[in-house]
Chains A and B, each alone.
Chain A
């Protein structure tokens, strides 16, 4: 087997200081299907973006057929025979399939686009690779699986010998996935090389020849797929390099605070992303929600906090229905929320730390002095929180955007924790922040729990979810597939099988999470 691609010592530091790739070596043989696996945030996509010229590495070199190349734009990547099918399709919705495929290299007749030729080109190409598409259909109307085929054809028309697919099955139904795999095998027969990013191990086993495993920005192993089991891969993927032990006492659950009943959500493409989800969170308890991202967690959180309207199912807080309450009314009832994306929802980056800290309570009497705001109170309150949550800053008047990621997250956490919440929803509370901030936030979550707050913890970090949660549900495909009331009896491997949809508990077992 001839090595077609080698990436050597790739290091990528994002402007916000996150080190996404740490001296990664990655090599692919000609004509193989090579799986690149790892958890979210392991650095797979970054590595591929570097290969496709969308990101520039700080260090490292790329060799194609043994020759060193510098790829600083997708245009150069395409010229070098590299094609990429992104997770979010790069298609123009209002154009037809043929127009999307020939965009930028349009066939012409007397200066005009030769639409007939474009359709011919598309159909010929589709024929050649046996990827059936309707060349004249408008892309907007196509199902996701079709759009993906268009993307693949686009890359092939531009002469891609190496094809990168970024989590291609994430949006597909099982049937579409099977079809895709057949197509990939045919491409392989024709001599194309395929890099397949995934965290679905069953698929990796099924389709790939070799597999490279990444964790925390590093390459932690390369294997012939046939020589490893799913369990082996899973262990390397999620295995801990630093064992993070969290000190906490046995939880003493009280009354049910939040009850979610038969929640169903159908997305804009008519695909159900939440199917009849029911569970309860009790006071003084941390209920973890484990699961690979995109299995309904985001929809669940947005519905509970009020950011998303819904119509099927019920939400009860302390036994009262809160389905139609506004965000403000929900907050007043004691719901706090650490959002997944702190820069979009968590803070106003151009505002000061103090202004961000009082955002959910600026109307309360204690922060106002007649019609004016009580700046002394705001100052003392901010100083208290800055100290309590160890926010590193020059003063409470500093703009939030000047802080590091960890300190920005501490601002969010300080605000959400200090309102004395009945229910805390923590969505990826420590993603992408340093160890110190992570520890502090974990400690604070446990403090809240001990004071009787019900905590719903959503995290893609297995380490975090295993250590922090008292009880745990696992989500897969918009459903709860497992419930554990005693985490000491669960291993990560076992959890992994539920997260990947390999196993599902019985209805009775899952029902226990309603405590009724």
Chain B
């Protein structure tokens, strides 16, 4: 019964949004690159790098905003490397992504040590945190207020990003081209659209979104950087994108599901269930979600064939 009490509290609702934010950013990044026909496995590494640079630069400039800018720049650089190798040098995009993730997980420790003389955590750096926002009017409404008001500004940006990504993909010429390139590159090519150019843009946008997620982790969710703090969120984002059928809105709901699982894991710590099992929840939910999604795809294809 205690579980229900936890789930139906407003603080749990608040926690869901809080946990969803980084996954949602990365998942939206996955939406854009996937729509252009390239799988971005490097989201995990891009987030991690961004989380670190956000902390470092915000500590040096005493400005969380400059930290955010640095995080984004690092994300752009990482996705540029990914794009260059996979599009120009024809490295398998999955292997290139794996390589970038390995690079991030070691590289962040390297940089952290040089800057903070610590290989685990950035607590010696006085880094800044992005501000929280109280929504006027909304915060006065019972139930809704405590759930939706008072989040980190990036949480609101993430929600806004769902709409922006939707508009980009379905309302702008660039979005139309991104979708065309992903679905039928020959068709795009035959009307003179540069397929590689569009894929570059998509990967860069994808990296920018993921770096927002990374910045949130170290400058919002918590106020420090620790090694491998992304803990698989980049991969969970890929699953969320798949479950959301690649649409911004579907991906948003799938991300919420993982946010729910994560918030549950955080909140059940007080129960007498071994914490290890609770921490597994998001990953188990991901696998189950992936299986349900993939098997529904298989039966859909079967149906089409049978008709």
Contacts and interface: CB of A to CB of B under 8 A. Distances in A.
The short answer to whether A and B are in direct contact, CB under 8 Å, is yes
A86 B191 CA distance: 13
Given A92-B179, A92-B180, A93-B184, 11 more contacts: A74-B190, A86-B190, A90-B184, A90-B186, A95-B176, A104-B177, A104-B188, A105-B191, A106-B173, A113-B171, A113-B176
B259 to A, nearest CB: 29
Nearest to A154: B191
B124 interface: no
A308 B273 CA distance: 52
Contacts of B167: 112
Interface string A146-174: 00000000100010000000000000000
B191 to A, nearest CB: 4
Given A95-B179, A111-B172, A268-B305, A103 B184 contact: no
B85 to A, nearest CB: 22
Name the residue among B183, B190, B191, B304 with the largest chain A CB count within 10 angstroms: B190
Interface residues of B, number: 21
Name the residue among B167, B187, B307 with the largest chain A CB count within 10 angstroms: B187
Contacts of A270: 307
Contacts of B183: 92-95
A384 interface: no
B35 to A, nearest CB: 10
Interface of A: 73-75, 78, 84, 86, 89-95, 99-100, 103-106, 108, 111-113, 154, 158, 268, 270
Contacts of A268: 304-305
A103 B194 CA distance: 12
B172 A158 contact: no
Contacts of A91: 184, 187
Given A74-B192, A91-B187, A92-B187, A103 B180 contact: yes
Nearest to A101: B191
Given A74-B189, A104-B191, A270-B307, A113 B180 contact: no
Contacts of B177: 103-104
B176 A103 contact: yes
Nearest to B187: A90
Interface string B294-307: 00000000001101
Contacts of B192: 73-75, 78, 104
A84 B184 CA distance: 17
Contacts of B59: none
B172 A92 contact: no
A418 B183 CA distance: 43
Contacts of B249: none
B39 interface: no
A78 B191 contact: yes
A312 B238 CA distance: 42
State the majority secondary structure of interface residues on B: helix
Contacts of B189: 74
Contacts of A95: 176, 179-180, 183
A438 B177 CA distance: 46
Nearest to A267: B305
20 contacts: A73-B192, A74-B189, A75-B192, A86-B190, A90-B184, A90-B186, A91-B184, A91-B187, A92-B180, A92-B183, A92-B187, A93-B184, A94-B179, A94-B183, A95-B183, A100-B187, A103-B187, A104-B188, A106-B176, A154-B191
A106 B173 CA distance: 6
A15 to B, nearest CB: 17
B193 interface: yes
Contact of A113 (B173, B188, B193, B307): B173
Nearest to A268: B305
B260 to A, nearest CB: 30
A89 B305 CA distance: 21
Contacts of A154: 191
Contacts of A105: 191
Nearest to A102: B176
A108 B175 CA distance: 13
B172 A113 contact: yes
Contacts of A99: 176
A236 to B, nearest CB: 32
Name the residue among B172, B173, B179, B180 with the largest chain A CB count within 10 angstroms: B173
A404 to B, nearest CB: 26
Contacts of B304: 268
Interface in B161-216: 167, 171-173, 176-177, 179-180, 183-184, 186-193
A90 B184 CA distance: 8
Contacts of B305: 268
A158 B180 contact: no
A158 B190 CA distance: 11
Name the residue among A78, A92, A99 with the largest chain B CB count within 10 angstroms: A92
B173 to A, nearest CB: 4
Given A92-B179, A92-B180, A270-B307, A112 B172 contact: yes
Contacts of B186: 90
A73 B186 CA distance: 13
Name the residue among A74, A90, A93 with the largest chain B CB count within 10 angstroms: A90
Contacts of A74: 189-192
Contacts of A89: 187
A171 B304 CA distance: 20
A104 B195 CA distance: 11
Nearest to B182: A92
Contacts of A113: 171-173, 176
Nearest to A309: B305
B171 A112 contact: yes
Contacts of A104: 177, 188, 191-193
A78 B180 CA distance: 19
Contacts of B190: 74, 84, 86, 90
B107 to A, nearest CB: 34
Contact of B173 (A75, A86, A108): A108
A86 B180 CA distance: 17
A451 to B, nearest CB: 40
A86 B184 CA distance: 14
Contacts of B184: 90-93
A105 B181 CA distance: 15
A103 B188 contact: yes
A99 B184 CA distance: 14
A90 B193 CA distance: 13
Contacts of A73: 192
